Chain A
Amino acid sequence: MSFRQPLPRTADESAAPRSAAAGGAAPASAPQDRSRIELVGVTKRFVSPTGAAMTALRDVDFVVEPGQFCAVVGPTGCGKSTTLTMVAGLDRPTAGVVRVGGAVVDGIPDSTSFMFQHDALLPWKSVLQNVALGPRFRGESKASALGRAREWLHVVGLSGFEDHHPHQLSGGMRKRATLAASLISEPSILLMDEPFGALDVQTKAIMSNELLTLWERTRPSVIFITHDLEEAVALADRVVVMTAGPGTVKAVYDIDLPRPRGAVQEIRFDSRFLELHQRIWESLREEVERAYARTGRTAGTATTGTEGGRP
């Protein structure tokens, strides 16, 4: 379940002072402030080539404290991915600002990593070369980048697959490689867009545990998008619920489950977990129903299906 090896060097040093404050959203010392993410009145409008405007996001406000793990849930098409691309500096808000570490984002920030919804490994490069890409782009020497990439592949349990091409790996292994590629730059901000959405339930649980283990060592600020509320509550310090499109923040919940959380599969039966899940689900359900209604299906059948799965 957990990682086979301790993290490579630098990561371990920075993990040490923080392990004491490992309960909940640990408030941070000064240098960590650069990993504070703040969205203020963010609105995003897309204009189609025919000139029709479509509002994807409206007045989104929320804050991710330094080192906090923030999950964002909301119905499909409510603008979750759009939010993330603006935090990553890949796109700009139509109105409002995104600030990272107090500075307005107007380009791709240096210490941000992004795990995309779809596999983004370069299919023509080996797994090792893929993981080494970030350091290479940032000017690290080839030998050193490949060396560190090897260490990180070891950390995520992919030793022996260095020379494989992405299509030769299973979906779960590709996610591990992507995770290694995201973490090798030791980002202070980690953005994840439904990273485990395409995985089967068991693999997803394993990956979630591994993600938590890694995150607790270096504690980057995380925005983790998911449509799976259980996953959100199990992993996050803070859950942001978004409304059906145009998306805006409906409610923010702080998750006070203690850390380290342990196995994601087990925490789901914790009574506090169930209580929080129930509360957030009430809020999310309306939005999911509205989104379903819009797609033309009967809201009733669609949601009973989802709810029926709850213990």
Chain B
Amino acid sequence: MNEASTMGDARTLAAIRAQSVQPASTDEASIAEAARRRVRRRKVLVQSTRLAVLVVVVGGWQLFTDRKIVDPFFFGQPSGIVLKLVDWVEHGTAYGSLWLQIGVTMKEALLGFAYGTGAGIVLGVLLGQIPFLADVIGPFIKVLNAIPRIVLGSIFVVWLGFGTTSKVLLAAVLVFFVVFFNAFQGVREVDRNLVANVRVLGASRAQTVRHVVLPSAVVWIIASLHVAFGFAIIGAIVGEFLGAQQGLGLVISTAQNNFDPNGIFAAMLLIAVVALSAEGLISQLEKRLLSWRPGTQTEVAGL
């Protein structure tokens, strides 16, 4: 969104420059006013077009399924999805209240996210700091990374049963690799000048890591967290798919077995809302931790 408006700014400025040949708009205040008006107009245009796209897609879906041009039995129906959600809210799912299902999945995802991120940062920093360790352990991590990790979920269910632990572990494994590679790279990219500088200032190894290595790797680590949280949710859902007693993944897999596309879409919608809120929180964290940076680089958030 930021990106869109800055692009708008640039375009408006160019337009104004082109116009400024005309004597009418030489007054500075009126130029600024015109620029502001253009930016505002563009924002409204973008928002209303977005809304239109949404209406066309959802409305079209509803219309086509209503007229039986597309079979609602396979493709579901927006109104059906809403009814399903209302039903869940009012009467709960087959496995207890809806909030319990969301809560269980969130708990698994968050725990997996926390463990995976922690392990990824610790190991990434260690290997980035100690080349010997990196040389020894590096190949193992590469091999593990090449395994289709989702399959590990089956093993975890076999080992740990249908409880939440197997889901947490799967989510943590998925998160770990993303964070680890970024943390490792971040540590490797640390500015040597800064390290030399604090060493001359008298910093010990630990102080160097704390004051230079970690803060500069944070840029890389935070960038990975956006992707990592998505993986945490995937890990939790897939884990529940493979065998669980509660959770949104189980709700989806039940809906699948009952040929209930509305149920699947409704659960998907819930997951999307959860993921977007988490994304928002991570962007807040990013803003806080990276406030020292010149200009806010929110490429990811801008999308």
Chain A interface residues toward B at CB < 8 A: 85, 88, 90, 108, 110, 112-114, 116, 118-120, 122-125, 133-134, 137-138, 165, 167-168, 181, 185
A119–B194 Cα distance when bound, in Å, is 8
A134 touches B196 (CB 8 A): no
Interface of B is mostly: helix
Contact partners of B194 in chain A: CB under 8 A: 120, 122
A112 touches B198 (CB 8 A): no
25 contacting pairs across A/B (C-beta < 8 A): A88-B200, A90-B196, A90-B199, A90-B200, A108-B199, A108-B200, A112-B200, A113-B201, A114-B200, A116-B196, A116-B197, A120-B194, A122-B194, A122-B212, A123-B293, A124-B216, A125-B292, A133-B198, A133-B203, A137-B198, A137-B203, A137-B207, A165-B292, A167-B293, A168-B294
Contact partners of B199 in chain A: CB under 8 A: 90, 108
Contact partners of A125 in chain B: CB under 8 A: 211, 292
Residue-wise, chain B 163-183 has the 8 Å CB interface mask toward A (1 for contact) of 000000000000000000000
User: In the complex, how many angstroms separate the beta carbon of B222 from the nearest chain A beta carbon?
Assistant: 12
Total count of chain B residues near the partner, CB < 8 A: 19
A138–B201 Cα distance when bound, in Å, is 8
A137 touches B197 (CB 8 A): no
Given contacts A90-B200, A167-B292, A167-B294, 20 further A-B contacts (CB under 8 A): A90-B196, A108-B199, A108-B200, A112-B200, A113-B200, A114-B197, A116-B196, A120-B197, A122-B211, A122-B215, A123-B292, A123-B293, A124-B215, A133-B198, A133-B201, A133-B203, A133-B211, A137-B198, A137-B207, A181-B201
A113–B211 Cα distance when bound, in Å, is 18
A114–B292 Cα distance when bound, in Å, is 24
User: In the complex, how many angstroms separate the beta carbon of A50 from the nearest chain B beta carbon?
Assistant: 18
A134 touches B215 (CB 8 A): no
Contact partners of B294 in chain A: CB under 8 A: 167-168
Total A-B residue pairs with C-beta atoms closer than 8 Å?
57
A138–B202 Cα distance when bound, in Å, is 6
Contact partners of A113 in chain B: CB under 8 A: 200-201
Contact partners of B200 in chain A: CB under 8 A: 88, 90, 108, 112-114
Closest to B294 in A: A167
Contact partners of B258 in chain A: CB under 8 A: none
Contact partners of A133 in chain B: CB under 8 A: 198, 201, 203, 211
Among B202, B215, B216, contact of A137 (Cβ-Cβ < 8 Å): B202
User: In the complex, how many angstroms separate the beta carbon of B190 from the nearest chain A beta carbon?
Assistant: 11
A112–B199 Cα distance when bound, in Å, is 11
Contact partners of A88 in chain B: CB under 8 A: 200
B201 touches A137 (CB 8 A): yes
Contact partners of A122 in chain B: CB under 8 A: 194, 198, 211-212, 215
Residues of chain B in range 186-239 having any CB-CB distance to chain A below 8 Å: 193-194, 196-204, 207, 211-212, 215-216
A112–B202 Cα distance when bound, in Å, is 9
A120–B293 Cα distance when bound, in Å, is 15
A137–B293 Cα distance when bound, in Å, is 24
Contact partners of A120 in chain B: CB under 8 A: 193-194, 196-197
Closest to A114 in B: B200
Closest to B212 in A: A122
Closest to A112 in B: B200
